[in-house]
Amino acid sequence: MPGQITFSVQLPPVPANGDVDSGELTVKIGDDLEFNRTFAPSDSLIVDEAFVGPQGATVHLSMVYIDDAGNRSANPAVFDGTLLDTVPPADPAAPSLVITGEV
């Protein structure tokens, strides 16, 4: 059964003296799901229970910074990725012998 893949979003460091009061992240999973999240300049990782999608789904990230006057970055930063299953299965228990006779 194909699994659902969960993920978080790693944010880049905010540039020094970047005039950043907050940020806005848009996460689009596949063709149907889209979420907008705001973050603080000190945030480095966005963890959200909504960030889950089917294995192989495309994910589009877009983010801008917003200053204290409400101005937004001129050009959003974007990232396109795929929800790859990089999680290995559970470790197996040890096999054992079944003695079947003496010859």
Identify whether the C-beta of residue 1 lies closer than 8 Å to the C-beta of residue 54: no
The residue number whose beta carbon is nearest to Ca ion equals 67
Sign of CA dihedral 44, 51, 4, 91: positive
Verify binding: residue 19, Ca ion, rule CB under 5 A: yes
Least CB distance to Ca ion at residue 19 (A): 4
- Residue closer to Ca ion, measured from CB, 19 or 80: 19
- Main-chain phi, psi angles of 35, to 5 degrees: -130, 140
Q: From the list 34, 67, 80, 85, which residue makes contact with Ca ion (rule: CB under 5 A)?
A: 67
Please identify, among the stretches 7-15, 27-35, 40-48, 61-69, the one whose residues bind Ca ion according to the rule CB under 5 A: 61-69
C-alpha closest to that of 24 among 77, 64, 74, 78: 64
Residues interacting with Ca ion, by CB under 5 A?
A: 19, 67
